[in-house]
C-alpha cells in the first residue's frame, strides 16, 4: 500500500492561512485560560490530593461537612465508588494528606477507636502483628512464625487489591492460606472499614514553587538545546525555524490543555519535553531533503520551490513518522487509564501539531528568514547568489533531473 505518491501540493501557498489558523487556535486556548484560569495541579500549586475508594455509597455530605475547604469529585466511573479530595495549598509545610486521611479515619470508622485492626485501611505489618500476637496456629514466637503470618497477611492485602476493597470480613478470610483459626482472630479483632486509600499526595508550597521554576526552565532550555543542535547539524536558519516550530507546537498543545481544562501537572511537563524532541523529527526529515536536493541539483530554483519540492517528496514520510506514534498514543488514550490520560492527549496534540507545523510554519519561517537576510529566493547551488532573477518562479518545481516523486 502506498499513500501520497507523486504529490504536488503547493504548501507554500497555504502558509499564511495556516499561521492564521494556529493563531486563532492559540487565542481560543488563551480565552479559555482567561475565563477559567490555569488549572494548576498540586504538583505546582501545592496542596494535597487524596483518592479514596469506599466500601458502600460515597458519603458525600459527610465528606463535605468534614472537609469544608476541600473540593471533592468523583474519581473514575461511578460504580468504582472512588472520590478525589483536593485540599488547597496551605501556607505552612505539613503532612496535609496524611492528616486528612487520619481525620477521616477517625470520623468514618468509629470502630478504629476500639483497637481493632481495619483491614481496608491498614497494611500488611499490622495484620501480621495481629495474627502473630494471637498465634492461632501455634507457631510460637520465633521468626519463622512471623514469616508465616506475614505471608498470609500479604495474601489478604493482595486479595483486597484484587477486589478493590473488602465489602465484608468473609472476603478477607477467603484469602488463600487463611486457616479457620486465623479467620476466627480476624473476625474477632479486625473489621472492614469504610474506605481504602488509593493514593495520597502532599506537595508543600516550597516544593510546588521549585517544581514550577524547574518545569519552565526545562522546557525553555531543551527548546534552545534543540535549536543549537540543529544549527550545528544544518544551519542557523534551520535552527531558528526549529525553535519557532517547537514554540508553536508547545503553544498549540497548551492551548488544547486550556480548552479541555486539563490539569497542569508533572506528567504534562513530561509530555511537553517529549514534544520538544519529537515534534521536530519530521521537520528534520523534510529539511534534510532540502539540503540533499541542493547538493544534487545544479539548476537554481527559487527557495520557495525548493521547500515545496522537498515537502512533496517527503510527504508520505512526514505523515507516516508521526502516524506510528499516533497509533500508539490513541491506544494509550483509550486504554491507558486515568493517570496518563491527559499526558496522552497532550502528546497526541503535540505530535499532530509537529507534523502540521512542518508543512506550514517551518517553510513560512524559512522564507521570511530568507527574505530578511536578503538572500532572496535562490540559494541553490554554489556561487549562485549573484544571479537571483534568472530562474522564473514557477508553481511546480522544475529540478533538472525530474524524479518520480
Partner 1 sequence: MNTNLWWKLLLIAAVLVLFTLAVIPGVLFQEPIRRGLDLKGGTHLVMRVNVGDAVRLEADQAMEQFKSQSTKNSLPMPTTRRINDSTFLAIPPAGVTAGAYDRLVADYKNQYDVSTTPEGAIQFRIKPVSVSTIERDTVSHVVETIRNRIDALGVTEPLIAPESNNRVVIQLPGVDDPARVKDIIKTTAQLQFRLVEGTSGTDPQSTLNTVPANMKNDVDILPGNRENELGQAVGTEFYAVRKVVPVTGTDLKNARVQKGRLNEPVIGFSMTTDGARKFGDLTGNNVGKQLAIVLDNKIQSAPRINSRIDDQGVIEGRFTQQQAADLALVLRSGSLPASLTTLEERTVGPSLGRDSIRQGVLASLIGFIGLIAAVLVYYRGAGINAVLALLLNLVIILGMMAYFKATLTLPGIAGIILTLGMAVDSNVLVFERIREELREGKTVTASIQQGFSRAFGTIIDTHMTTIISALFLFQFGTGPIKGFAVTLLIGLFASVFTAFFVSRVIFDMVYKPSDRPKEISI
Taking the least distance from each CB to partner 1, the nearer of 15 and 264 is 264
Asked if 145 touches partner 1 (CB under 8 A), the answer is: no
As measured in angstroms, the least distance from the Cβ of 393 to partner 1 is: 26
| CA distances, 396 to each of 7, 73, 178, 377, 393 (Å) | 11, 58, 79, 15, 9
Residues with Cβ within 8 Å of 23's Cβ and at least 6 positions away in sequence, in order, are: none
How far apart are alpha carbons 54 and 62 in whole angstroms?
13
If you ran DSSP here, which 8-state letter would residue 194 be given?
S
Q: Which of 72, 332, 368, 388 binds partner 1 (CB under 8 A)?
A: 332
As measured in angstroms, the least distance from the Cβ of 16 to partner 1 is: 27
How far apart are alpha carbons 346 and 344 in whole angstroms?
6
Taking the least distance from each CB to partner 1, the nearer of 18 and 405 is 405
How far apart are alpha carbons 384 and 263 in whole angstroms?
53
Taking the least distance from each CB to partner 1, the nearer of 182 and 271 is 271
Taking the least distance from each CB to partner 1, the nearer of 192 and 377 is 192
Q: Which of 267, 308, 312, 355 binds partner 1 (CB under 8 A)?
A: 267
Determine the interface stretch with partner 1 among 32-40, 252-260, 262-270, 357-365 (rule: CB under 8 A).
262-270
Residues with Cβ within 8 Å of 285's Cβ and at least 6 positions away in sequence, in order, are: 314, 317, 318, 321
Q: Which of 10, 107, 116, 124 binds partner 1 (CB under 8 A)?
A: 124
Taking the least distance from each CB to partner 1, the nearer of 73 and 324 is 324
Asked if 316 touches partner 1 (CB under 8 A), the answer is: yes
- The overall longest dimension of the chain from CA atoms, in Å, is 100
Q: Which of 79, 138, 161, 374 binds partner 1 (CB under 8 A)?
A: 161
Contact at 8 Å (CB) between 136 and 84? no
Using CB under 8 A as the binding rule, the residues of this chain from 93 to 122 that contact partner 1 are 93-95, 97-98, 101-102, 115, 122
Q: What does the buried/exposed string (b/e) look like for 257-295 if buried means 16 or more CB atoms within 10 Å of the residue's CB?
A: bbeeebbbbbbbbbbbbbbbebbbbbbbbbbebbeebee
Helix, strand, or coil (residue 200):
strand
As measured in angstroms, the least distance from the Cβ of 162 to partner 1 is: 7
Taking the least distance from each CB to partner 1, the nearer of 338 and 385 is 338
Q: Which of 251, 270, 368, 388 binds partner 1 (CB under 8 A)?
A: 270
Using CB under 8 A as the binding rule, the residues of this chain from 229 to 258 that contact partner 1 are 229-230, 233
Using CB under 8 A as the binding rule, the residues of this chain from 198 to 227 that contact partner 1 are 198-204, 206-207, 214-215, 218, 221-222, 225-226
Q: Which of 183, 273, 368, 388 binds partner 1 (CB under 8 A)?
A: 273
Asked if 260 touches partner 1 (CB under 8 A), the answer is: no
Helix, strand, or coil (residue 161):
helix
Taking the least distance from each CB to partner 1, the nearer of 1 and 180 is 1
As measured in angstroms, the least distance from the Cβ of 88 to partner 1 is: 16
Around 311, how many Cα atoms within 13 Å sit in the side-chain half-sphere? 25
How far apart are alpha carbons 199 and 21 in whole angstroms?
41
Binding-site size for partner 1 (CB under 8 A) equals: 87
**Look-up of cell digits 476466627:** 184
Around 79, how many Cα atoms within 13 Å sit in the side-chain half-sphere? 1
If you ran DSSP here, which 8-state letter would residue 82 be given?
E
Using CB under 8 A as the binding rule, the residues of this chain from 336 to 365 that contact partner 1 are 336-337, 339-340, 343-344, 347
Taking the least distance from each CB to partner 1, the nearer of 61 and 162 is 162
| CA distances, 230 to each of 222, 274, 404 (Å) | 12, 17, 29
Letters for 43-62 (x = contact with partner 1 by CB under 8 A, - = none) are --------x-x---------
Taking the least distance from each CB to partner 1, the nearer of 249 and 305 is 249
Asked if 152 touches partner 1 (CB under 8 A), the answer is: no
Pairing of strands 117-118, 190-191: parallel
Amino acid at each position: 500500500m502506498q499513500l501520497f505518491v507523486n504529490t504536488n501540493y503547493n504548501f507554500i501557498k497555504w502558509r499564511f492561512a495556516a499561521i492564521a489558523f494556529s493563531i486563532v487556535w492559540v487565542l481560543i486556548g488563551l480565552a479559555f485560560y482567561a475565563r477559567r484560569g490555569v488549572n494548576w495541579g498540586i504538583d505546582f500549586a501545592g496542596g494535597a490530593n487524596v483518592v479514596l475508594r469506599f466500601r458502600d455509597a460515597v458519603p458525600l455530605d459527610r465528606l463535605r461537612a468534614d472537609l469544608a475547604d476541600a473540593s471533592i469529585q468523583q474519581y473514575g466511573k461511578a460504580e468504582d465508588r472512588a472520590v478525589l479530595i483536593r485540599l488547597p495549598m496551605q501556607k505552612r509545610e505539613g503532612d496535609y494528606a496524611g492528616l486528612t486521611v487520619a481525620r477521616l479515619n477517625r470520623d468514618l470508622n468509629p470502630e478504629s477507636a476500639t483497637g481493632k485492626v481495619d483491614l481496608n485501611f491498614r497494611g500488611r505489618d499490622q495484620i501480621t502483628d495481629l495474627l502473630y500476637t494471637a498465634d492461632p496456629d501455634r507457631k510460637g514466637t520465633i521468626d519463622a512464625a512471623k514469616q508465616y503470618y506475614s505471608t498470609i497477611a500479604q495474601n489478604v492485602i493482595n486479595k483486597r487489591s484484587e477486589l478493590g476493597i473488602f465489602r465484608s470480613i468473609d472476603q478477607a478470610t477467603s484469602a488463600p492460606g487463611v486457616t479457620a483459626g486465623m479467620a476466627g482472630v480476624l473476625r474477632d479483632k479486625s473489621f472492614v472499614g469504610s474506605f481504602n486509600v488509593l493514593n495520597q499526595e502532599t506537595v508543600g508550597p516550597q516544593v510546588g514553587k521549585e517544581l514550577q521554576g524547574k518545569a519552565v526552565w526545562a522546557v525553555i532550555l531543551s527548546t534552545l538545546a534543540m535549536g543549537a543542535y540543529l544549527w550545528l547539524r544544518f544551519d542557523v536558519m534551520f535552527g531558528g525555524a526549529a525553535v519557532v516550530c517547537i514554540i508553536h507546537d508547545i503553544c498549540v498543545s497548551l492551548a488544547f490543555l486550556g480548552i479541555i481544562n486539563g490539569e497542569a501537572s508533572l506528567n504534562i511537563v513530561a509530555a511537553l519535553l517529549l514534544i520538544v524532541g519529537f515534534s521536530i523529527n519530521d521537520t528534520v526529515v523534510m529539511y534534510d531533503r532540502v539540503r540533499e536536493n541542493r547538493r544534487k541539483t545544479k539548476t537554481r530554483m527559487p527557495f520557495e520551490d525548493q521547500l515545496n519540492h522537498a515537502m512533496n517528496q517527503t510527504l508520505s514520510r512526514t505523515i507516516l513518522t508521526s502516524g506510528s506514534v499516533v497509533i500508539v498514543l490513541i491506544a494509550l488514550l483509550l486504554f491507558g487509564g486515568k493517570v496518563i490520560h491527559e499526558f496522552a492527549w497532550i502528546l497526541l496534540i503535540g505530535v499532530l501539531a509537529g507534523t502540521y507545523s512542518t508543512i506550514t510554519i517551518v517553510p513560512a519561517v524559512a522564507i521570511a528568514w530568507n527574505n530578511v537576510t536578503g538572500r532572496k529566493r535562490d540559494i541553490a547551488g554554489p556561487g549562485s547568489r549573484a544571479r537571483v532573477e534568472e530562474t522564473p518562479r514557477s508553481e511546480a518545481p522544475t529540478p533538472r533531473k525530474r524524479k518520480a516523486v
